[in-house]
Structure 1
Amino acid sequence: MLLSAVGLLAVSCAEIKTSQCRQIVEITRNIADKAQVLSNSGQTQDPQQVLQVADAFEEAAQEMKAIPLQDEQLVEYQSGYAQLYLGYSQATRHFIAALGEKEIEVLKQSQQELQRLGQKERQLGNAINDYCQQP
């Protein structure tokens, strides 16, 4: 009897983890799709469109923070993505402002920050994928 209860609890916990993983992944996919569309796959030269991408990252950060999570590791990933998206938003805004003011040094710094964030996003994505695939 106790063994059955423990088995059911393990299945229930796994289902919760899977559901929470899906919620995080859904937001990451949605913002990736939205950024692609708004930026015309990164080809836009319209500063207003780029600022819309920054707005979308801020919205994604808020959506990410709003997911109620129970799993401590997923909470860490959630926080990482929220910080990442806010970083993208801020670096994008700095880039556009520097572009308008023709501040070459700030442009370079913003580009470097965006590249660093991209690398961090890949690492975070790999980590959460590995974690969510574990039983």
Structure 2
Amino acid sequence: MSVSHKYTVLASVNLSIALLITSCSENKVSQCQRLIRVVNAGTSLIDKNKGTQVITSIQLSKDLEFVTKSIRELNLKDPKLKEFQSGFVKIFQNLSQAIAIAGKALGVTKTADASTSGREKIQKARAEIDSALTTATTLGKQSDTLVNQMNKYCSQPE
């Protein structure tokens, strides 16, 4: 084996090892980035649509269902990221449901007539909206906690 061929083989082996190490270290990073990207998309939908009307609330609920599905379908291998993934699926799923309930209840308040039964419908709808807002606030706090934990984990070296 000639000297130049020996160095070519060693260079190839070193390059292969370097790529293997790099791809392993990027694996967690790329998985973190994919999860963060989808979670951020869901969060920005919520921020953009805060305090919106019935039709927008119902659409937001559907959009959050799509975000939930997107998070669920991420093919994450890292066990800790799978835990975060599961947590975000539950949060966005429950948030979607709470927003749908609030949107429908808001719709009831808009169509209730000025009668005793109409006032009862409005009171029931307000209770549903209040409950949905409480749920959303709780889910927001859970999401913030989960985001902080995920960011801490994702910033740790492998």
TM-score (norm 2): 0.73
CA distance in 2, matches of 1:54, 1:96: 9
- Is 1:78 aligned to residue 85 of structure 2? yes
Q: 1:113 to 1:43 in 2, by over 3 A?
A: closer
Q: Deviations over 1:20-67 (max 9, x none)?
A: 000001001212233334x2xx242x2001111111110000000111
Are the aligned partners of 1:31 and 1:57 in contact in 2 as well (CA < 8 Å)?
yes
- Is 1:33 aligned to residue 44 of structure 2? yes
Unaligned runs of 5+ in 2: 1-13, 109-120
Are the aligned partners of 2:54 and 2:104 in contact in 1 as well (CA < 8 Å)?
no
Are the aligned partners of 1:80 and 1:124 in contact in 2 as well (CA < 8 Å)?
yes
1:115 counterpart residue number: 137
Q: Secondary structure at the match of 2:145?
A: helix
Q: Secondary structure at the match of 2:131?
A: helix
1:126 counterpart residue number: 148
Q: Secondary structure at the match of 1:64?
A: helix
The amino acid of 1:14's aligned partner reads S
TM-score (norm 1): 0.84
Larger-Rg structure? 2
2:34 counterpart residue number: 23
Superposed displacement of residue 17, structure 1: 0.2
CA distance in 2, matches of 1:35, 1:88: 10
Superposed displacement of residue 114, structure 1: 0.7
What is the number of residues matched between the two proteins?
A: 128
CA distance in 1, matches of 2:47, 2:75: 27
Are the aligned partners of 2:95 and 2:139 in contact in 1 as well (CA < 8 Å)?
yes
Superposed displacement of residue 105, structure 1: 2.4
Unaligned runs of 5+ in 1: none
- Is 1:63 aligned to residue 70 of structure 2? yes
Superposed displacement of residue 94, structure 1: 1.3
Q: Percent identity?
A: 26
Superposed displacement of residue 10, structure 1: 5.3
- My pick for the range that moved more, 49-58 or 96-105, is 96-105
1:89 counterpart residue number: 96
CA distance in 2, matches of 1:56, 1:76: 23
